[in-house]
Structure 1
C-alpha cells in the first residue's frame, strides 16, 4: 500500500513540526520569558522568533486535545511515501527544499484555484474577518475613524450575543451607507471583487492564499494554531501585509491608523505592488508550464512508478 499525505498548511508549519524535538532541546518549546528569541537552527528556515511559532508549540497544554491531534497527524505524515503541500514553490522554496530531504514533497497549491478566476483589486473597501466579542467595540470605533467602506463577517454563534447588541450603540445606523455586516459570506467572491482593497484577516492559510490570488493586501490579526506563523510569512517574509497592532491589545486609534496605512498610505503602493507580483506567480504556477502543474504531474509519474514496483 502506498501512503500519500496532503498537508493543507504552509510548508514552514510542517517543517517546524518535523523539528519539534530540536526546538525542545534548545528550550524553545514550550517557552517562557522573552517571546522575541530568534531561532536560526531549523533547516530551511532562515530565522523565526518564538512568538511566531504555532500556538500549540508555544504552550502545548493550552489546548491539549489539539496538540495531541497534531502529534498524531504528524506521525502519519512521517509514514507517508509522498507529501502533497498546498503551497507554491515560488512562495516557500527553502522550506520545501528542506522537506524534500526527508520525504518526496510536491508543492501543488493553491489547490482551491483549479479554475480560472482573474479579477483585479483596488482600494475602495475593506473586507473584515471574524473577531471576538471583546474586540468588536474597538474595531468598530476604528472603522468609523478610518472612513472606509467595508464588509464585516460577524458570527454570533462564536462570539456570543445576537445581532446589534455586540456593537457599540448606534454603530449600525451610522455605517448603514458604508458597511455591510453579515453572519457569513463567500469570502473568495468578496476578495475577487474590484471593490475590495484590503483584507483584515486572522491569517488562516486558505484565506491568505485567496487574498494573494486576488491581489488583495492584508492586515494581520492572528490568534491560534498556525496563524502567528502564517502572519510571519505575510508581513515579514513576503511583505504583502501589515500587523493590526503592535502591542498586546487592539485599540481604536491603531485600528484606524493601520487601515489608513494599508488603504491610503505611502507604504500601500509598495504593498499592493508586491502582492500583485505574488498573485501573478500563483496564477502562473497552475499554467501548463507552471511549478504546481509540473509538480502534480511529477507526483503522478512517481506514484505510478511506486505502484509498479514488484509487479511482473
Structure 2
C-alpha cells in the first residue's frame, strides 16, 4: 500500500542532465514517494523544456524545480564537455543555492539532496545549508570500484596499461575492457576529470552513497566501496510493474526528453521471440561505416527488428545515418524509430534479443527483464559492462571487431543467429531469466534493496521529526 505523499519529509533529486542519468534517479524517486517521502526533481531549464515538449504532463508523483546550466537555450554547435561542465558547476551551484534558500523561506526546506555523483559540487551546496547529501551512482559497482582503487594511476598523459588489471571479485580486465577514459586518458581528459577524479573528490563526505545495483548481482564487489563510503545498493532502478509490482501504474517514461514512437502494435504482429531490438542509447553516434555494416547485417540475418536511430545534436552531424536503400530493402521485416519505450519493447513477447551499447541502464534493464544481449560497447563504462554481460553474468555475447574497430556485417549476422537460436541462445536466456528473478527478489518487500531503501527513508524521516517516520507505522 502506498504511503501518503510527503508524510515523511522532503528530498531533492538532482540528476546529471542527460536522459540516461535522469531515468534511474526518477525511478528511485518513485520508490521514495511510495515510501512516503515528498520528492522534488531538479533539472536544468533546457531539460525541462525538452521533457514538456515530449510529454506536456509532468510526472504526477513528484514536484519539479529547475536550475540553470548556463545554456538555457540549448548547446552550441561548437560544444565542448569541459566548457559545459565548468558552466554547470558555476551556474548550477549558484542556482541550486538560490533554490534551497527559496524552499526554506517557503517552509518546504528539503532534508536531503540526492545528487548524481557526477555533480559533487551539489554536496557542498547542500552541506552549506545544513542539509544531508546522498551521492547517487548511475554506473555499476564494478566501475566505481575501478575508479576508487585505480584512479591514481591515470592522468592526462598516456598510461601504461599493458598489464591487465586485477580487482577482487572481478575477472581480469584487459585494456579493451576498461572505461575509455581510463585506457586512453589522453583522448578523454574532460571525462577523466568529471567522471573519475571530481566525483571522488568529496565522496567520503557524503552522508549516503546510493548505488543502482543489487546484492545478488554485485554484492561481492560492493565490499571495497563499502569500506570507503556509506554505501547502500537500491537497484535496479526499473519501474515496479516490470519487477515487484508493488507500485500501482509505475511503468516509467514519465520524463523522457525525446518523443517516443509507439512500436508495440508492430511488435504485436510478430511471432514470439522472433525480433531483435537494437538500441545504442541516447548519446552514442555511430560512424557511417559501422552503421552500414549493422544495417546490412540485419538485412542478411532475415530477422525481424526494431532499431532505434537517434537524431543527434548538431555537433555530432554525420553520424547515425542509414545507408541508401536499407529502409526499402527491409520494410517488411524492420521498423526504424527515433526513440521508443524501451522497457515496454524489452518486455514484449516478440523480442528475443537486445543488441545494446551496454550503457548501465540498458544493461540493468536487459538483466531485469530476462532478455539475452549482444554487447557492442562504444566507449566510457560500456566496455566494462560488456565484459560482465558476456563473461561474468553470461547473458550475452560480444561481437568481434576487425583491425579497424568495425564489426562487419557477417559478424552481425553470426551473432544474431547464435543469440536467437540454438543452445547458446537457450543458455543465455536461462541465465538472463535467473538474473531477472534475483532482481525482483531484491526489490520485493524485505529484499536486499528494499531494506536499504527503507533504511535510507527512515534516516531522512528521523531527521525531520520522530512522529513523521514513515517506515512501518
Which residue pairs with 1:259 in the alignment?
Answer: 416
Is residue 132 from structure 1 mapped to residue 282 from structure 2 by the alignment?
no
Q: Give secondary structure in 2 for the equivalent of 1:4.
A: strand
Partner residue of 1:174 out of 325, 329, 349: 329
Which residue pairs with 1:282 in the alignment?
Answer: 439
Structure 2 residue runs of 5 or longer lacking an equivalent are: 1-129, 246-270, 281-285, 466-473
Change in 2 beyond 3 A, CA 1:62/1:289: same
Equivalents in 2 of 1:149, 1:244: separation in Å?
19
Which residue pairs with 1:104 in the alignment?
Answer: 230
Cα distance per residue 1:108-154 (max 9 Å; x no partner): 00123234468xx9521001113333211111111111110000111
The higher relative CO (CA closer than 8 Å, separation ≥ 6) is in 1
Contact 1:110 1:282 in 2 (8 A): yes
Equivalents in 1 of 2:318, 2:158: separation in Å?
35
What are the residue-to-residue correspondences of 1:193-272 with 2, within 5 Å?
A: 193-247=348-402, 248-272=405-429
The alpha-carbon deviation at position 33 of structure 1 amounts to 6.8
**TM-score if structure 1 supplies the norm length?**
0.87
Which residue pairs with 2:124 in the alignment?
Answer: none
Contact 2:287 2:318 in 1 (8 A): no
Is residue 16 from structure 1 mapped to residue 146 from structure 2 by the alignment?
yes
Equivalents in 1 of 2:323, 2:288: separation in Å?
11
**TM-score if structure 2 supplies the norm length?**
0.58
Contact 2:161 2:175 in 1 (8 A): no
What are the residue-to-residue correspondences of 1:143-162 with 2, within 5 Å?
A: 143-157=298-312, 160=317
Which residue pairs with 1:188 in the alignment?
Answer: 343
Alignment: residue pair count: 299
Change in 2 beyond 3 A, CA 1:254/1:102: same
The alpha-carbon deviation at position 19 of structure 1 amounts to 1.3
Which residue pairs with 1:52 in the alignment?
Answer: 177
Q: CA RMSD in A?
A: 2.7
Structure 1 residue runs of 5 or longer lacking an equivalent are: none
Q: Give secondary structure in 2 for the equivalent of 1:111.
A: coil
Which segment is superposed worse, 178-187 or 56-65? Answer: 56-65
Equivalents in 2 of 1:307, 1:16: separation in Å?
36
Change in 2 beyond 3 A, CA 1:107/1:122: farther
Equivalents in 2 of 1:206, 1:122: separation in Å?
25
Q: Give secondary structure in 2 for the equivalent of 1:219.
A: strand
